[in-house]
Structure 1
Amino acid sequence: MMLPSAPAAVVGADGMPLLGRFSGQAAQFDWTRLAGSHARGALWRRFHHKKWHYVALATEDVFCAVAIVDLGWISSCFAYAFDRKDEDMLANFSQEGLPGIAAKVADHAGGNSTFKAKGTRIAVNCSGDGRYSLELVSPYLEIDAQFGPPAAPLLLATGPIAGGSVHATQKSSGMPLTGEVRLWRGEYSLDGGVASFDYSNGLLARNTAWRWASGHSLELGFNLQAGYFGANENALWLDGQVHPLAAAHFIYDHHDPLSKWHIFTEDDLLELHFTPEGARRQNKNLVIAASKYLQPIGTFTGWVRSSADEPKRVVSNLAGVTEDHTSKW
């Protein structure tokens, strides 16, 4: 199934959100233009508007993830570098900053996002031609990465949120990667690796939870979510196109999340087994807010296909992550 082209803006001229899944990039995410039952006051939006820009970098040797987050009432970032061969977390940190000052998350997926606070500087930049860069400088980890253009169109997904209003996200396919990671153990080349990103922007509920899986090569990739956004962002990138997927199921041992995961979609277009190599964990309790976060890093094996009458395409040892996240924000 081919997706329609992405609209220029996720809110129409009549103030109604343009709901659905699309192929391509939107240039405007302006929730102040919402009308009718989707509209919310400025104070409500201040505390419910959540934006984040997440970048994943994968090679045979190392997996890195970097995120810049704007929760409205606080800003934060996190970054880690994981040695895949030694199954060792080389660096792992998070940091908070003043709202509206430390983190500036782009207004759309083609914009620039930055974080600056206490010796940490992160910049995710887009050159406008589908090419991106990531620069991170911190006491624990340094990254210089260049990636793009995407091998297939971005996914744009927009949908209603129970207890919130509307959410929208842009996910990329795999992108060719070059660059370098520097830390206490030495330097890791990113050349020949694969990058991907997640740009999300919406008016979310106070309590939000999800399970997520993402894995990419330059030939195929997928994004799967079960939780607050339903099946809205479930997609498969294959043969240069982005295809919608049905609801996803995540079967794993909650008491032992580093055991194998079984993930499949209801449309019989994807079935995968995920083997974790390690994980990033972080639990926070800030009294007025709390989060429980687990992101295993590992490999996916199984099969995918773009439609039920297409042959199954083998997925073998594809690097990626799963995630189990619960937030009160």
Structure 2
Amino acid sequence: MSLPPAPARLLGADGQPLLGRYAGQTGQIDWTGLAPPFAHGALWRRLHHKRWHYVALCTERVFCGVAIVDLGWTSTAFAYAFDRNDGDMLANFSADGRLGRRGRVADHSGGASYFESAKGRIALEPSGAASFSLSVACDYLEIDAEFGPPNAPLLLAVGAVAGGAVHSTQKSSGMPLTGEVRTWREEYDLAGGVASFDYSNGLLARNTAWRWASAHTLDMGFNLQAGYFGANENALWLDGQVHALAPARFLYDAKDPLSTWHIFTEDDLLELHFTPEGARRDNRKKLVAATRFLQPVGTFTGWVRGTPDEPKRIVTQMMGVTEDHRSRW
């Protein structure tokens, strides 16, 4: 179904969040004015406010994933480069900010986000109308990339969260990509590739879990999630439009996550099989926080369509990721 245009703000005059799915860019996201039953005190908001900005870069030869995460009380970041020809993870950077010293995630998806530690630096900045520059400098990996603008509207999703309060996310369609990735072994030209981003900002539960899938070309793309946010962010980009999708089912062997995944939506608009080629893993347990993160990189094959009466569009080896993520934060 077609989506209404995104509101400029996510809270109405009565302090209630404007729950729903929209097409387009919203403005600054500020949860301080939330009214009951979503309202909480300042300390609760500080501890439960989570923001992240994730960028995927994909060419025929290399796939990179880069993320900056603001946990409210500290920050973390990662960046990796995966060689598609031989299945090697060429670089896998991760670092935490010091307690009380945070990287910055923008207060809307069109803003600047950055992270810096003794181990490395990441900067994501707007560079013109709906375009971005991304810079990564860490051991064994440097990225200088430019991408945008998208040829289809952003998805905006706003929804209530059990155990938390309310969450919002903006997902992009595929965007033209240029630049370079430099690793210890080789340099990769990003020209002709595709970028996409996931910007999320909300008041989440102490324990949060999800499964996720995302892949894009310049003409087609999808974002699927099952977990804490329900079906709110499930979407398909096709023919320059963004379409809402029903709940998604993820069928895979959790004991062997690099075997084939079967993913479909309950509205009969998407059915895909995902073949992993490698994965980024991160399992950490600390005194106040823990995470179990698995992000396989691989290809999707199957079909999609914008409405039940449209013919199926074939998807053949579209590069992207799935994810199985659990956090106590």
With structure 2 as the length reference, what TM-score do the two structures score?
0.99
Give 3-state SS (helix, strand or coil) of 1:221's partner: strand
Matched, 1:180 2:171: no
Q: Deviations over 1:150-186 (max 9, x none)?
A: 0200000000000000000000000010000011002
The 5-angstrom pairing of residues 267-286 of structure 1 reads: 267-286=267-286
Q: Measure how far apart 1:7 and its partner are.
A: 0.2
Give 3-state SS (helix, strand or coil) of 1:243's partner: strand
Could you tell me how far apart the structure 1 residues matched to 2:55 and 2:318 are?
A: 17
Contact 2:297 2:320 in 1 (8 A): yes
Could you tell me how far apart the structure 2 residues matched to 1:190 and 1:77 are?
A: 22
Q: Measure how far apart 1:287 and its partner are.
A: 1.9
Matched, 1:233 2:233: yes
Could you tell me how far apart the structure 2 residues matched to 1:114 and 1:250 are?
A: 32
Cross-structure match for 1:93: 93
Give 3-state SS (helix, strand or coil) of 2:47's partner: helix
Could you tell me how far apart the structure 2 residues matched to 1:128 and 1:107 are?
A: 18
Cross-structure match for 2:37: 37
Contact 1:120 1:139 in 2 (8 A): yes
1:159 alignment partner AA: G
Q: Measure how far apart 1:140 and its partner are.
A: 2.3
Matched, 1:297 2:283: no
Q: Give unpaired runs (5+ residues) of structure 2.
A: none
* Segments of 4+ moved more than 4 angstroms: none
Cross-structure match for 2:3: 3
Cross-structure match for 2:80: 80
Contact 1:110 1:128 in 2 (8 A): no
Matched, 1:264 2:260: no
1:249 alignment partner AA: R
Distance change in 2, residues 1:195/1:58 (3 Å):
same
Contact 1:283 1:293 in 2 (8 A): yes
Cross-structure match for 1:245: 245
Cross-structure match for 1:208: 208
Give 3-state SS (helix, strand or coil) of 2:3's partner: coil
Could you tell me how far apart the structure 2 residues matched to 1:325 and 1:139 are?
A: 25
Q: Measure how far apart 1:101 and its partner are.
A: 3.3
Q: Give unpaired runs (5+ residues) of structure 1.
A: none
Cross-structure match for 1:52: 52
Cross-structure match for 1:28: 28
Could you tell me how far apart the structure 1 residues matched to 2:324 and 2:170 are?
A: 20
Contact 1:276 1:297 in 2 (8 A): yes
Could you tell me how far apart the structure 2 residues matched to 1:246 and 1:301 are?
A: 19
Matched, 1:222 2:222: yes
Could you tell me how far apart the structure 2 residues matched to 1:281 and 1:255 are?
A: 14
Contact 1:301 1:317 in 2 (8 A): yes
Give 3-state SS (helix, strand or coil) of 1:38's partner: coil
1:93 alignment partner AA: F
Give 3-state SS (helix, strand or coil) of 1:43's partner: helix
Give 3-state SS (helix, strand or coil) of 2:57's partner: strand
2:201 alignment partner AA: N
Q: Deviations over 1:31-82 (max 9, x none)?
A: 0011121111000001000000000000110000000000012111001000
Could you tell me how far apart the structure 1 residues matched to 2:210 and 2:7 are?
A: 26
Give 3-state SS (helix, strand or coil) of 1:31's partner: coil
Q: Measure how far apart 1:119 and its partner are.
A: 4.2
With structure 1 as the length reference, what TM-score do the two structures score?
0.99
RMSD between superposed Cα atoms in Å:
0.8
Could you tell me how far apart the structure 1 residues matched to 2:166 and 2:98 are?
A: 25
2:20 alignment partner AA: G
Cross-structure match for 2:307: 307
Could you tell me how far apart the structure 2 residues matched to 1:259 and 1:12 are?
A: 45
* Same amino acid, percent of matched pairs: 71
1:68 alignment partner AA: I
Could you tell me how far apart the structure 1 residues matched to 2:6 and 2:127 are?
A: 20
Could you tell me how far apart the structure 2 residues matched to 1:44 and 1:98 are?
A: 20
1:324 alignment partner AA: D
Could you tell me how far apart the structure 2 residues matched to 1:94 and 1:266 are?
A: 36
Could you tell me how far apart the structure 2 residues matched to 1:40 and 1:325 are?
A: 26
Cross-structure match for 2:126: 126
1:215 alignment partner AA: A
Could you tell me how far apart the structure 2 residues matched to 1:282 and 1:54 are?
A: 16
Could you tell me how far apart the structure 2 residues matched to 1:100 and 1:180 are?
A: 33
Give 3-state SS (helix, strand or coil) of 1:280's partner: strand
Could you tell me how far apart the structure 1 residues matched to 2:237 and 2:13 are?
A: 31
Could you tell me how far apart the structure 2 residues matched to 1:156 and 1:270 are?
A: 20
Q: Measure how far apart 1:128 and its partner are.
A: 4.5
Contact 2:93 2:139 in 1 (8 A): no
Cross-structure match for 1:71: 71
Could you tell me how far apart the structure 1 residues matched to 2:45 and 2:278 are?
A: 37
1:81 alignment partner AA: A
Q: Measure how far apart 1:100 and its partner are.
A: 5.5
